[in-house]
Amino acid sequence: MPGQGDRSPANLYTEGPAFFSFVSRVGWRHRRRASDKGVAEVIGAVILVAITVVLLVLIFLLRIPYPTSPPSISFAAVNNAKYPAWGDPTDCYPNLPHNWEYYLSNGTGNKTDEDRYNTYMDAWEDDCENGDTGYYNEMNATGLIITGTSQAIPLSAIEFEFICTNTTPKAETTLLVQGQLSTMEWVPGGSQNLSSNAPTLGTCASYDPRGSGANSVYYNRLGFFDPLNAHLTTLSPGMTLVLYVHTKDSIFEAPNPLYGSSYWGQPDTDDYHGVPLWCYTVPGSCTIELIDTDWSSPVVILSEPVYLL
What is the CB neighbour count within 10 angstroms for residue 242? 24
pTM of the model: 0.69
What are phi and psi for residue 191, nearest 5 degrees?
-60, 140
Q: Does residue 205 belong to any structural domain of this protein?
A: yes
Q: Does residue 286 belong to any structural domain of this protein?
A: yes
Q: Are residues 222 and 275 in the same domain?
A: yes
Average pLDDT over residues 91-98: 88
> Which three-class secondary structure state does DSSP give residue 81?
strand
Q: Does residue 231 belong to any structural domain of this protein?
A: yes
Q: Does residue 68 belong to any structural domain of this protein?
A: no
What is the CB neighbour count within 10 angstroms for residue 83? 22
Per-residue pLDDT of 208-267, as tens digits, reads: 877 654 444 678 888 899 998 878 899 999 999 999 886 555 667 778 777 777 777 777
Q: How many domains does the chain have?
A: 2
Cis amide prior to 257 (ω within 30 degrees):
no
Q: Are residues 145 and 260 in the same domain?
A: yes
Q: At 309, is the pLDDT very low, low, confident or very high (cuts 50, 70, 90)?
A: confident
Determine the pLDDT at residue 160: 96
Residue-wise over 85-122: b if at least 16 C-beta within 10 A, else e?
bbbbbbbbbbebeeebeebbeeeeeeeeeeebbeebbe
Q: Are residues 146 and 198 in the same domain?
A: yes
Provide the β-strand partners of residue 105: none
- Residues 263 and 55: their CA atoms lie apart, in Å, by 80
**Of the given ranges (49-53, 164-168, 295-299), which has the lowest mean pLDDT?**
49-53
Domain range for residue 43? 9-61
- Residues 168 and 163: their CA atoms lie apart, in Å, by 16
Percent of the chain with pLDDT over 70: 75
Q: Mean pLDDT across the chain, nearest whole number?
A: 78
Determine the pLDDT at residue 84: 84
- Residues 173 and 7: their CA atoms lie apart, in Å, by 116
Determine the pLDDT at residue 39: 62
Q: Are residues 153 and 270 in the same domain?
A: yes
Q: Are residues 32 and 163 in the same domain?
A: no
Q: Are residues 22 and 53 in the same domain?
A: yes
> Which three-class secondary structure state does DSSP give residue 100?
helix
Determine the pLDDT at residue 12: 47
Average pLDDT over residues 172-186: 92
